[in-house]
Structure 1
Amino acid sequence: MKILEVTQLRLKGVSATDRSLLENLSTVRKSLKTNSQFYHCIEDPSLIYILGMWLSLDAHKAFLDSQERAKVLGPQEDQLEFKWTLHMELDGMSSLPLDAPVMSIARLFINDDQACIDAYNTVVANHKHTLIEATRPYKVVGGWRCDAEPGKHEALLFTGWESVEAHKDFTAKAGGNAEYAGVRENYEGMEVCHARNMER
């Protein structure tokens, strides 16, 4: 299956609306044919996210290890500081809630225990319909990180919202369900970012 790349970068001396930054990002997208989308973090305006598709994890790794990398990514190195990148199996960019005014990108770090993993999967299966209804008409997609370190289990969840407040309201209401609220007992930690598309 194809692979979704999610990369976090920190802005260096430029804003997310800087024309040269968007031009450089677009040039990389065109060169790599990743159909990438660029998102600006609401909670921390110094962060941006790049979401793009690769034919495989090996294909992305091969590019990063190639001489072409410096040529393609070089023009943006003065503007962006690399923070992290991760990958998840996904059939295509169209599965993401790209049309939503706000996208939530959640990283859920699950305890290294099969019972915790099973409990998380059960809650997802039992409550995904509730999340789908709450975010309608925007899509919901999640999965497991496919390049996690041995012994690490990271689930990813992408949801679309009208606003950050709409997501917070849903979370507050969902907290009243014991099973849904209890899933966090299986987490080592979690990171949630809300972001807006930089090209809209």
Structure 2
Amino acid sequence: MPVTEFSRLTLKSGLNEDQKLFAKRGLSRAKKLMEDFTGYNFHIFQEIEDVDHTYIVGKWASVEQHMNAWIPSEANQGLLKDLGPFIDLDYLFHIDVSFGSIPPSEESPIFSVGRHVMESEKRPDFETTFKNRRSGLEVHAPGSINGGWRIEKEPGREEFVLFTPWRDVDQHMALAKTKEFEDMSRSAIIFCSMLPKYAM
């Protein structure tokens, strides 16, 4: 089953500008190697709130292709060796959704990532609320929203990851005042990041 990787990397503290540039070039090389390996597009994004946070979002044929074929591969191990002194991996997990419906665009140069965490028994209520409120949320966004459930999860917990495109930060912040957002927030703990879109 195709899945979407969602991972966050952080530049180590104390790096000079040459080292940061080396890390950025390394990530660009990683993007190309993963695309060659999978045949799918990958995206590298930088967070607005903390520019030292970089995100990788891309499609894999399956979790097994990513974890059992790519991770131990010679190409990936070489990347880890080169980038290890400059970048920390904060987290990596997979989502049962295709990211392709939210490509970079001039109309929506940034997007938010809403991580809706809930107890497992609340998942049906959240799914119903999201289904009923999705169109209302999309009225406030300049494009289609898309999301899916985290595959690797803690026992008794569920996480729904929602990608929403925006023209700017102010437009995103206005969402928090809507009834649709209020209804969804009742059934989950929400963590959001704003990511500017750029492809290396």
Q: Same fold (TM over 0.5)?
A: yes
Corresponding residue of 1:29: 31
* CA gap 1:191/1:143 in 2 versus in 1, 3 angstroms: same
Corresponding residue of 1:43: 49
Residue of 103, 110, 117 corresponding to 1:102: 110
What SS does the corresponding residue of 1:87 show, helix, strand or coil?
Answer: strand
Deviation at 1:152, TM superposition (A): 1.9
The answer to whether the Cα contact below 8 Å between 1:112 and 1:152 also exists between their aligned partners in 2 is yes
What SS does the corresponding residue of 2:8 show, helix, strand or coil?
Answer: strand
What SS does the corresponding residue of 2:186 show, helix, strand or coil?
Answer: helix
Unaligned runs of 5+ in 2: none
Deviation track 1:54-97 (CA, whole Å, cap 9, x = no partner) reads 11011111122445532133222222111001111234x42124
Deviation at 1:101, TM superposition (A): 1.2
What SS does the corresponding residue of 2:5 show, helix, strand or coil?
Answer: strand
Corresponding residue of 2:120: 112
Residues 1-200 of structure 1 aligned to structure 2 (within 5 Å): 1-12=1-12, 13=15, 18-33=20-35, 34-62=40-68, 63-66=70-73, 68-91=75-98, 93-99=99-105, 100-113=108-121, 116-136=122-142, 138-172=143-177, 174=178, 177=179, 180-187=181-188, 189-199=189-199
Separation (CA, whole Å) in 2 of partners of 1:76 and 1:24: 7
Identity between Structure 1 and Structure 2 (%) = 23
Separation (CA, whole Å) in 1 of partners of 2:16 and 2:149: 33
Aligned amino acid, residue 23 of structure 2: L
The answer to whether the Cα contact below 8 Å between 1:97 and 1:160 also exists between their aligned partners in 2 is no
Separation (CA, whole Å) in 2 of partners of 1:80 and 1:198: 19
Unaligned runs of 5+ in 1: none
Separation (CA, whole Å) in 1 of partners of 2:2 and 2:34: 15
Alignment size in residue pairs: 190
Separation (CA, whole Å) in 1 of partners of 2:127 and 2:71: 33
Deviation at 1:6, TM superposition (A): 0.7
Separation (CA, whole Å) in 2 of partners of 1:145 and 1:160: 20
Deviation track 1:152-178 (CA, whole Å, cap 9, x = no partner) reads 200000000011111111221x1xx3x
TM-score (norm 1): 0.84
Separation (CA, whole Å) in 2 of partners of 1:151 and 1:65: 30
